């Protein structure tokens, strides 16, 4: 996440200038001439343009920034699908409590807290302690929203196959874009490519809804399936809201100060995630105790039939669910901090095909023609967003460069 005026600052005191290719540079021996006499840029020149702009973007920030962004994105794309599959495995093995599954999602809150220790010991990072009252309020609010979000997803996975639940969850991109624009502002611009991706991915979700009878598990009624579908969409909306509010906290109260400063202050991501997860853990534990969930854990563990069965298998599923979900949320928080709400929503949509294919392979989820079509449409929507987003960013950089050139000419004159 970078300030508008710091786009060329690598955080090391040096200014990096973006490479802007003039339109006339596109004309050459490989260009085609259209019927009206204008140049048609060849694919090779388009690829060269993309590579040049990507190289310029890479040089605009220090390597530590890109390393942290890659680790954060990688955590999202691996840990979130694993957590989704473990949620389905919990129900397949005989688990029934939605509160237990949502509790396991936040039981790994000590993980970011432990990762903070080397930051404090071996770097110049200092803890934000004691946190001001307004920061405590935000942590408590995000914790409450996270607890509610986990509970919604727990209900959804109780009635939907993992592949279907992940496809429906792709709608979080639309909510991330809308909430990011409304709450954070111009850093999450909604371009034509974003609107196109939202429409296409929403169409994929509608296709899944129309084909609700093909993948319903035995014993799940039509009403339960519809409830799971609705709660999955609601959870995706809440997911996008949490992304946007997290970015607002970082941007307004814990400003990262551009690429280099963001990498140097990455410990605030761990601090926020530890505090928010601890808050969500407190809320969920209270709900679990009120529903006699701790006693239900012992009963479920005794008859658990997955991951080797028994108490050991039950502890393994719940434990790995806690670890993978926490790493996934930590990665998402890092992407929001270093990038934006929309980028986090995009990566959240990328995990859809990974989860769907893995669910078909491991759990033999039914894969109807409608579901395959929905998967293709979802991937298409993501691809169109990425290509359109690149073109929009390039146009913005070109317009900014033209504006600066005009100002320089006015000063000279």
142-200 tens-digit pLDDT:
999 999 999 999 999 999 888 888 888 888 888 888 898 899 877 777 777 778 877 88
Question: Quick count: other Cβ atoms within 10 Å of Cβ 95?
Answer: 25
> Can you name the residues that pair with 39 across neighbouring β-strands?
33
Distance between CA atoms of residues 23 and 305, nearest Å: 64
Query: Which residues touch 389 (CB under 8 Å, ≥6 apart)?
Result: 191, 193, 194
Contact 216, 225 (CB under 8 A): yes
> Does the predicted model carry a pTM greater than 0.85?
no
Judged against a pLDDT cut of 70, whether residue 340 lies above it is answered with: yes
Contact 263, 71 (CB under 8 A): no
Helix/strand/coil percentages in the chain, nearest 5: 75, 0, 25
Angle CA 198–199–204, to nearest 5: 95
pLDDT band at 333 (very low <50, low <70, confident <90, very high): very high
Per-residue pLDDT tens digits for 373-403: 878 887 787 777 666 655 555 554 454 445 4
Residue 42: inside a domain, yes or no?
no
Give the number of domains in the chain. Answer: 1
Cα 234 to Cα 150, 216, 255, 329, 406: the distances in Å are 11, 20, 30, 18, 48
Judged against a pLDDT cut of 50, whether residue 134 lies above it is answered with: yes
Distance between CA atoms of residues 339 and 262, nearest Å: 10
Residue 32: inside a domain, yes or no?
no
Per-residue pLDDT tens digits for 202-233: 787 777 777 666 678 888 888 998 999 999 99
Q: Cα(first)–Cα(last) distance of the chain, in Å?
A: 36
Among 108, 74, 76, 353, smallest CA distance to 239 is for 76
Helix (H, G, I), strand (E, B) or coil at 33: strand
Among 161, 180, 72, 179, smallest CA distance to 375 is for 161
Between 17 and 116, the more confident residue is: 116
Residue 56: inside a domain, yes or no?
no
Query: What single-letter DSSP state applies at residue 215?
Result: S
Contact 154, 87 (CB under 8 A): yes
Residue 12: inside a domain, yes or no?
no
Task: Say which range, 90-94, 184-188, 264-268, 342-346, has the weakest mean pLDDT.
Answer: 184-188
Residue 58: inside a domain, yes or no?
no
Query: Which residues touch 377 (CB under 8 Å, ≥6 apart)?
Result: 200, 201, 203, 204, 207
Q: What is the mean pLDDT of the chain?
A: 79
Residue 193: inside a domain, yes or no?
yes
Residue 120: inside a domain, yes or no?
yes
Distance between CA atoms of residues 272 and 128, nearest Å: 10
Contact 128, 273 (CB under 8 A): no
Among 251, 327, 334, 328, smallest CA distance to 69 is for 334
64 exposure class (CB count in 10 Å sphere: 0-12, 13-18, 19+): middle
**Which run of H or of E encompasses 353?**
helix 341-363
Distance between CA atoms of residues 110 and 39, nearest Å: 59
Contact 53, 397 (CB under 8 A): yes
212 exposure class (CB count in 10 Å sphere: 0-12, 13-18, 19+): middle
203 exposure class (CB count in 10 Å sphere: 0-12, 13-18, 19+): middle
- Three-state SS string over 175-197 comes to HHHHHHHHHHCHHHCCCHHHHHH
Question: What values do phi and psi take at 62, rounded to 5?
Answer: -70, 165
- Domain of 69 in residue numbering reads as 64-394
């Amino acid at each position: 996440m970078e300030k508008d005026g710091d786009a060329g600052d690598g955080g090391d005191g040096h200014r990096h200038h973006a490479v802007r290719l003039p339109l006339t540079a596109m004309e050459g021996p490989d260009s085609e001439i259209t019927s009206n006499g204008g140049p048609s840029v060849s694919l090779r020149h388009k690829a060269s343009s993309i590579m040049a702009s990507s190289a310029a973007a890479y040089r605009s920030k220090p390597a530590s920034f890109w390393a942290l962004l890659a680790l954060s994105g990688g955590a999202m794309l691996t840990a979130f699908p694993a957590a989704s599959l473990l949620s389905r495995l919990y129900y397949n093995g005989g688990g029934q409590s939605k509160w237990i599954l949502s509790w396991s999602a936040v039981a790994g809150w000590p993980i970011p807290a432990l990762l903070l220790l080397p930051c404090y010991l071996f770097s110049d990072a200092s803890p934000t302690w004691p946190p001001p009252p307004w920061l405590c309020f935000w942590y408590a609010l995000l914790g409450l929203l996270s607890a509610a979000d986990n509970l919604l997803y727990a209900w959804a996975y109780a009635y939907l196959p993992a592949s279907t639940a992940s496809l429906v969850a792709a709608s979080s991109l639309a909510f991330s874009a809308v909430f990011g624009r409304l709450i954070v502002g111009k850093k999450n611009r909604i371009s034509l490519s974003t609107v196109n991706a939202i429409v296409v991915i929403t169409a994929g979700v509608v296709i899944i809804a129309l084909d609700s009878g093909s993948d319903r598990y035995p014993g799940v009624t039509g009403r339960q399936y519809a409830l799971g579908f609705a709660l999955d969409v609601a959870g995706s909306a809440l997911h996008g809201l949490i992304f946007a509010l997290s970015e607002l906290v970082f941007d307004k109260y814990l400003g990262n100060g551009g690429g280099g400063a963001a990498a140097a202050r990455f410990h605030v991501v761990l601090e926020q995630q530890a505090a928010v997860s601890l808050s969500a853990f407190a809320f969920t534990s209270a709900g679990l105790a009120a529903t006699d969930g701790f006693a239900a854990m012992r009963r479920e563990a005794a008859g658990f039939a997955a991951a080797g069965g028994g108490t050991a298998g039950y502890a393994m599923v719940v434990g790995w669910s806690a670890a993978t979900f926490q790493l996934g949320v930590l990665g998402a928080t890092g992407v929001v901090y270093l990038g934006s709400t929309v980028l986090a929503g995009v990566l959240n949509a990328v995990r859809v095909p990974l989860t769907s294919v893995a669910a078909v392979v491991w759990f033999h989820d039914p894969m109807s023609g409608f579901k395959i079509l929905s998967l293709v449409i979802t991937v298409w929507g993501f691809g169109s967003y990425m290509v359109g987003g690149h073109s929009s960013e390039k146009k913005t950089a070109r317009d900014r460069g033209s504006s600066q050139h005009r100002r320089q000419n006015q000063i000279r004159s």
